[in-house]
Amino acid sequence: MAESHGGRIGVLLVNLGTPDAPTPRAVRRYLAEFLSDRRVVEIPPLVWQPILRGIILNTRPKRSAHAYAQIWTEAGSPLAAITRAQAEALQARLGDAVLVRRAMRYGNPAIGAELANMTADGCDRILVAPLYPQYSGATTASAMDAVGAALAGLRRQPAIRMLPPYFADPLHIDALQADIARQLAALPFVPEVLLLSFHGMPARTHRLGDPYYRQCLETARLLTQALGGRLRVEIAFQSRFGRGGWLEPATDAVLIGEAGKGTRRLAVAAPGFAADCLETREELAIRGAGQFLAAGGSDFAVLDCINAGEAGMTMLEALVRRELGGWLREHIHS
């Protein structure tokens, strides 16, 4: 039986965000918030904002809305639905001693609003859990910026802890290995290559000391080792934006290049994503499939992220319980 001391304990799961609807208007509102974050776009606002407001927000929302419409579900975007399921499953696992909520860095539910709700519900200690296995200033740090901004508006602040990046944690690697092995075994073909596709970042972020690139490589190394060398594993980075240099190799170039070299059967996994989203369901599963098959491939599959499945939730529960140490006392009765 789990028992807390003092006030209530909260856990806030945080992911990147999603538009409220697959419409140009909703996507424009989402992109305006996302691309105005100085952590995401490090160009001085006096230079960037005219480009964003004058060009990007007048052209990109229609294209992005079309992409979202292809993957939208009755429960909303995959990212919204899965993050909700993760929060509900974690709540069931932790029980009444902990209040679990979810928030998005951009869009709804907002981090500030959820922190205010949790404090109003009696939480005086909150673990913020960014669902980014690998740390980046554009993701993890940005989420904590939003937490700090929200706390600045509270007279009575809760104590805050943050879930560290878990890119090399054995709990994460074991969950990825188990879930990927299960999905590979269920495919109607045997892949020659497993491509691990991570979200891209501008190459300058690595040069400036962001640990994201190194952490992605370490996740890939440990996962490859855990999979036991049963198939060839390659690494790539997706979702390039703009003309600047990005982390390489690029996922689309690798897909086309593999088919050109004679690879006919290929599977893709995205171990940098805690939940399926536009980047996995549309960019990889729809556009990526088209690129690989058009270049000569014959069989292609994108594996699900760990989402709210058994392996992923067992991992998340263990990570959260570890970080709640000293706040959440575990009483084991013999």
Whether residue 201 contacts residue 132, with contact meaning beta carbons closer than 8 Å, is answered with: no
In 10 A of CB 326, how many CB atoms?
9
Domain ranges of the chain: 2-166+312-330, 170-302
pLDDT in tens, 23-75: 999 999 999 999 999 999 999 999 999 999 999 999 999 999 999 999 999 99
User: Cα dihedral sign for 20, 26, 30, 31?
Assistant: positive
What is the structure's pLDDT at 131? 98
2-166+312-330: what CATH class? alpha beta
Residue 296 — left, alpha, or beta (φ > 0 → left; ψ -120 to 50 → alpha)?
left
Concatenated DSSP letters of 120-149: HTTEEEEEEEE--SS--IIIIIHHHHHHHH
**CATH C-level class of 170-302:** alpha beta
Each residue's pLDDT tens digit, 229-251? 889 999 999 999 877 799 999 99
Which of 67-84 are b and which e, b meaning 16 or more Cβ less than 10 Å from the residue's Cβ?
A: bbeebbeeebbbbbbbbb
Q: Which of 157, 161, 156 is nearest to 144 (CA)?
A: 161
Residue 9 has pLDDT above 50, yes or no: yes
